[in-house]
């Protein structure tokens, strides 16, 4: 089967699962911006979205599909890296021509991916476990109502020095995520066919723009609550 036995097939799977995750991150980041808007204007947009998603069947299906996509993406990344080590020494990806500007990301995609996955697990514990999982099972996983996601986020990021540490950890995660997406998006578009001389530079720009917007949405929230936390500590 060409999806499994050929390098193009394996990279095609990596590309499709990766692009799906990018779309999810864009939605998730856009949703998180509501936290800042709510805190500034006293609205409840974020909690309304949490209630709309929650433990509903469509949210559970989406969570399952996302989890499967992450698993396939990560497993194929390890598998592809092992094959490339055997075939080409220290080269991470089986790409014939290295492109200027993405050399470092290309060589360190697996390391960046491991950092991203590690912090994703931390993120799932901090939020999914205390929100959707708690609502689904009825198990109390925090002191807050599972649908009061705004309170859960604020408690994590504005809890004194612990909040500052969490903000700094998330900033490290987001930087790694930016590098991973910056290379991964244009590489995925190249794999699915946008690889001619006209489009190659364009898709690199597209990758950088999407990576910056996606990570920026998350970064705004972290930096905002970091500022709030510092202001509360030294007021």
User: What does the pLDDT look like over 4-59, one tens digit per residue?
Assistant: 666 677 778 888 888 778 888 888 899 999 999 999 999 999 999 988 888 888 88
Place of tokens 């202001």: 231
Residues in the chain: 235
Q: For residue 24, how many other CB atoms are within 10 A of its CB?
A: 16
Tokens of 58: 């469509």
% of the chain surpassing 90 pLDDT:
36
Tokens of 196: 């001619």
CA distance 87 to 96: 13
Place of tokens 């309304």: 48
54 to 28, 38, 76, 154: CA distances (angstroms): 14, 19, 30, 19
Query: What average pLDDT does this structure show over 111-131?
Result: 88
72 CB contacts (<8 Å, ≥6 apart)?
A: 13, 17
Q: For residue 9, how many other CB atoms are within 10 A of its CB?
A: 14
pLDDT at 154 over 60: yes
CATH topology of domain 2-233: 3 helical TM bundles of succinate and fumarate reductases (1.20.1300)
- pTM equals 0.83
pLDDT at 75 over 80: yes
Cβ–Cβ under 8 Å, residues 119 and 173: yes
- What mean pLDDT value characterizes the chain? 83
CA distance between the termini of the chain:
63
């Amino acid at each position: 089967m060409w999806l499994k036995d050929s390098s193009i097939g394996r990279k095609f799977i990596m590309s499709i699962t990766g692009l799906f995750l990018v779309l999810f991150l864009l939605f998730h980041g856009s949703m998180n911006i509501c936290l800042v808007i709510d805190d500034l204007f006293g609205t409840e947009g974020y909690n309304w979205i949490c209630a709309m998603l929650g433990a509903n069947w469509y949210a559970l299906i989406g969570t399952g599909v996302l989890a499967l996509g992450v698993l396939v993406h990560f497993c194929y990344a390890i598998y592809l890296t092992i094959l490339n080590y055997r075939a080409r020494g220290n080269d991470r990806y089986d790409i014939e021509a290295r492109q200027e500007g993405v050399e470092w990301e290309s060589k360190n995609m697996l390391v960046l991916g491991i950092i991203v996955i590690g912090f994703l697990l931390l993120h799932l514990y901090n939020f999914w476990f205390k929100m959707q999982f708690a609502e689904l099972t009825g198990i109390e996983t925090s002191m807050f109502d599972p649908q009061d996601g705004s309170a859960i986020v604020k408690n994590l990021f504005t809890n004194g020095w612990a909040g500052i540490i969490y903000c700094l950890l998330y900033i490290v995660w987001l930087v790694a995520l930016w590098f991973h997406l910056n290379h991964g998006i244009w590489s995925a578009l190249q794999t699915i066919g946008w690889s001619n001389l006209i489009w190659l530079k364009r898709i690199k720009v597209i990758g950088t723009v999407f990576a910056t917007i996606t990570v920026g949405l998350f970064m705004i929230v972290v930096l905002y609550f970091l500022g709030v936390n510092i202001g509360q500590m030294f007021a």
